[in-house]
Structure 1
Amino acid sequence: MMDKAYDFTQGAKRMANVPASLIRTIMNRAAELQEEGKPVIKFSAGEPNFNTPSDIKEAAIRAITNNYTHYTSNKGFDPLREEISKYMKEFTGVYFEPKTEIFVTSSAAEALNNAMFAFVDPGDEVIIPTPSFVTYKALTAMCGATIVEIPLRGEDNFQLQLKDLEKAVSAKTKMLVLNNPCNPTGAVIPYETMKGICELAKKYNFIILADEIYGRLIYGDAKFYSVASFPDMKERTIVVSGFSKTFAMTGWRIGYICTAAKYLPVLLRCHQYSTTCSPTFIQVALAEAMNSDLTRKQVDSMLKEFAARRDLVMQELDTIPGLSYSIPQGAFYILVNVSGLHMKGTEFSQKCLEEAYVATVPAIGLGEETDTYVRFSYAASQEDIKEGFRRIRELVKHLS
């Protein structure tokens, strides 16, 4: 018999350990300040300020005009899966068979949801290197599984240490979540470390959920290696990616999963009962234009601009006493240590937002061990970066 005193406002019991996203909390407060007329600069969201490549936009308009507004396959529009297969082969070196090893989702976020709910049971353990994107721990909690954190350390440039990973593995380990390049640290996993991770996955028989959405955003001498590119690893890897970051399509909500054919049936059952299929006209547009010459040119231009912004952010940070950082090798985030100002990240971030109108994210919301860090996104324009750091310099000068 149900407890009649149950408080329905609390939702299901599985939601008790699922906090609201601190990133969204910051974004909502920044929006409130903007509505009040405050000149807020946003270093908080992982949203490129570029426009979607023009070929994709024009192809989408044509697709709507041509009435591609009905259901398509749960797996996705066949020509799009073929284009994704070509794209993955070119940029990861891994061939995924379009009809049996790829399906399209409504965002990489939905793909992560599908992967977790398809494979993780109550009582399982999911290893998550932290600080990490907020979704990983939230989904693990919703599955009723146990979160096993591996704290990444600034002195190691936030690189995962193999000895820490092996120590975290137990008989209950079902999955390792690997975000490479990493949000929020900007770390890119080197070849030897990735090789060692793959060997541990085979040795202890766990699956890797590889969030590789930032795989094209690589800087300096760093090189991206997909988990699935290592020997025998396509068979135990679920690769999640999407179009939001590299193609500046955050509002279009299109992602995809690439994995061994044997995993697709159970993944598709999750997908069928969440979104059925992703918008057909968007898939048609991407099939036509994601690999066009103009799209490639515009994407390459965006990637070069991200590299310039990264360099600019580091130059600006170098002029502010009390702030230090690890050099980001990928994605478009940098973790800044504010302990030199004798304060925690939450306090610094709040002062930046409420006094300087600069929105950042306290890293405590991404991992308990990083309470003196703040995440900056450099997906903003160079003009906003310069103005934002001018304000922060003035704020720090006032604090000292």
Structure 2
Amino acid sequence: MENRYASRIEKVQMSSIRVVMEKVEKLRSQGKSVVSLCAGEPDFNTPEGIKKATIEALNDNQTHYSSNRGYLGLRKKVAHLLKEQTTIDYDSDTEIIMTCGCSEAINNVCQAFINKDDEVIIFTPAFVSYQNTVLLCQGIPVEIPLKLSLGFQIDIEEVKNKITKKTKMIILNNPNNPTGAVYQKETLEQLCKLARENNILILADEIYNQLDYENQYVSIASFENMKDYTIIVNGFSKAYAMTGWRMGYIASSQKHIDQILKVHQYTTTSQMTFAQIGMANAIDQEDVKKEVQHMVDTFALRRTFIMEQLDQCKNLFYIKPHGAFYIMVDVSKTGLNGQEFADKLLEYGVAVVPANGFGKDFSDFIRISFASSKENIAEAFVRIRKLLNDLNKEAC
């Protein structure tokens, strides 16, 4: 029978993260011990106040549709959060949409603005959704590989060289997954100037903005005259340990939101009403704020711990992450590339993600997540050191 799938699907790749996660699930179902450091999934529970408020909303039968834009009470809380984080006022009535996670938000923005053959600049290594969502829109991903020598910071001259008349959008993930880089304010200011001069939209994925360990994060929307050029996507998955709740949001000027809303209403219609009400009623609770801060502080300690472990590993090289909860590791001196190292390491019972899935120029790297416990990280490095010792014996 003739294939009937859409031709645009041919270039789209499966998520390298999900591929590893499925391997882990299969190995564990066979009774094998696997320490997973592959997923961006906090090992904490959702704060108690949020769960309690959501259960109360469910018991109160808040189970009907909310507005396409989302429950107004939560949009008001998000507007307040955005004011704190970006210094910009977003109108909760007209400039915010609640979405089914940040992934839907990214999809909706791209579907609303990218035409066939539009060029979209993506800084790599990059979260797997960016290139593939652009391809689904029949746009052209234009990759700018970030240099290890620059600490994975953006080179503005390279951006200038990549901008053409077809450039529609720049996707900016700050803090960055998978590098953990937090972009410098001076660089962002220059990026804003280029966006305004060339009428380019910036899709700002700021899902990790609360995981900023050295107080370096600055929202791209906060720069002069950038609200109309910026579309923020964010959510509660990472800092609030709510990955399974699928609660994200989009914020931008009304003229952009109105177009995005057209896509959203035919994608998921609206987010779960009782979950939105629960979040709205709990997000300001002091106990919830304390739990979130505890998680952020713990991630900071794990970042220090994982760097200490890597410092003991011969032939592994890394750049210090300043945000998020990932660290990119160059494994080329082991004699293996990232894919080979990750495959071999899985045989030793540790799951990491080969970085070739984040950009074609990063085949020598793996991504390690420190969203897992210190005990898991410690056990993982016992196994990693065993692999390194065995590789060293083979080399001899």
Q: TM-score, normalised by structure 2?
A: 0.98
Alignment partner of 1:370 is 2:362: yes
Hey, what's the Cα distance between the residues in 2 that align with 1:153 and 1:42?
A: 27
Alignment partner of 1:325 is 2:318: yes
Hey, what's the Cα distance between the residues in 1 that align with 2:344 and 2:213?
A: 31
CA deviation vs aligned residue, 1:156-187 (integer Å, no higher than 9, x gap): 11111100111110000000000000000000
Equivalent residue letter for 1:57: K
CA deviation vs aligned residue, 1:296-322 (integer Å, no higher than 9, x gap): 000000000000000000000000100
**SS class of match (1:336):** strand
Hey, what's the Cα distance between the residues in 2 that align with 1:90 and 1:289?
A: 17
Displacement of 1:94 in angstroms is 1.8
Equivalent residue letter for 1:121: N
Match among 340, 353, 356 for residue 347 of structure 1: 340
Equivalent position of 1:398 in the other structure:
390
Alignment partner of 1:68 is 2:71: no
Hey, what's the Cα distance between the residues in 2 that align with 1:190 and 1:292?
A: 32
Match among 202, 218, 221 for residue 212 of structure 2: 218
Give yes or no for contact 2:63–2:273 (8 Å, CA) kept in 1.
yes
Displacement of 1:78 in angstroms is 0.6
Equivalent position of 2:380 in the other structure:
388
Match among 283, 288, 302 for residue 295 of structure 1: 288
Displacement of 1:90 in angstroms is 1.4
Q: TM-score, normalised by structure 1?
A: 0.97
Equivalent residue letter for 2:367: R
Equivalent position of 2:251 in the other structure:
258
**SS class of match (2:143):** strand
Equivalent position of 1:85 in the other structure:
79
Displacement of 1:6 in angstroms is 3.2
Hey, what's the Cα distance between the residues in 1 that align with 2:260 and 2:285?
A: 30
Match among 2, 8, 32 for residue 6 of structure 1: 2
Hey, what's the Cα distance between the residues in 1 that align with 2:292 and 2:283?
A: 10
Displacement of 1:264 in angstroms is 1.4
Give yes or no for contact 2:125–2:355 (8 Å, CA) kept in 1.
yes
Displacement of 1:267 in angstroms is 0.5
Equivalent position of 1:242 in the other structure:
235
CA deviation vs aligned residue, 1:347-384 (integer Å, no higher than 9, x gap): 00001112x11000000111111110000000000000
Alignment partner of 1:120 is 2:105: no
Hey, what's the Cα distance between the residues in 2 that align with 1:320 and 1:32?
A: 29
**SS class of match (1:97):** coil
Equivalent position of 1:180 in the other structure:
174
Hey, what's the Cα distance between the residues in 2 that align with 1:289 and 1:43?
A: 30
Equivalent position of 1:131 in the other structure:
125
Equivalent position of 2:276 in the other structure:
283
Hey, what's the Cα distance between the residues in 1 that align with 2:298 and 2:380?
A: 18
**SS class of match (1:251):** helix
Displacement of 1:266 in angstroms is 0.8
Alignment partner of 1:98 is 2:92: yes
Displacement of 1:22 in angstroms is 1.1
CA deviation vs aligned residue, 1:276-304 (integer Å, no higher than 9, x gap): 00000000001100121111000000000
Equivalent residue letter for 1:387: E
- Structure 1 gaps of 5+ residues are none
Give yes or no for contact 2:233–2:249 (8 Å, CA) kept in 1.
yes
Deviates more, 1:285-294 or 1:297-306: 285-294
**SS class of match (2:179):** coil
Equivalent residue letter for 1:372: D
Equivalent residue letter for 2:172: L
Displacement of 1:230 in angstroms is 0.4
Hey, what's the Cα distance between the residues in 2 that align with 1:329 and 1:262?
A: 34
Equivalent residue letter for 2:351: A
Give yes or no for contact 2:85–2:219 (8 Å, CA) kept in 1.
no
Hey, what's the Cα distance between the residues in 1 that align with 2:162 and 2:156?
A: 10
**SS class of match (2:268):** coil
Equivalent residue letter for 1:83: K
Runs of 4+ that moved beyond 6 A:
none
Percent of pairs with identical residues: 44
State the number of aligned residues. 392
Match among 331, 337, 354 for residue 330 of structure 2: 337
Equivalent residue letter for 1:275: T
**SS class of match (1:368):** coil
Match among 336, 351, 355 for residue 359 of structure 1: 351
Hey, what's the Cα distance between the residues in 2 that align with 1:367 and 1:194?
A: 22
Equivalent residue letter for 1:66: D
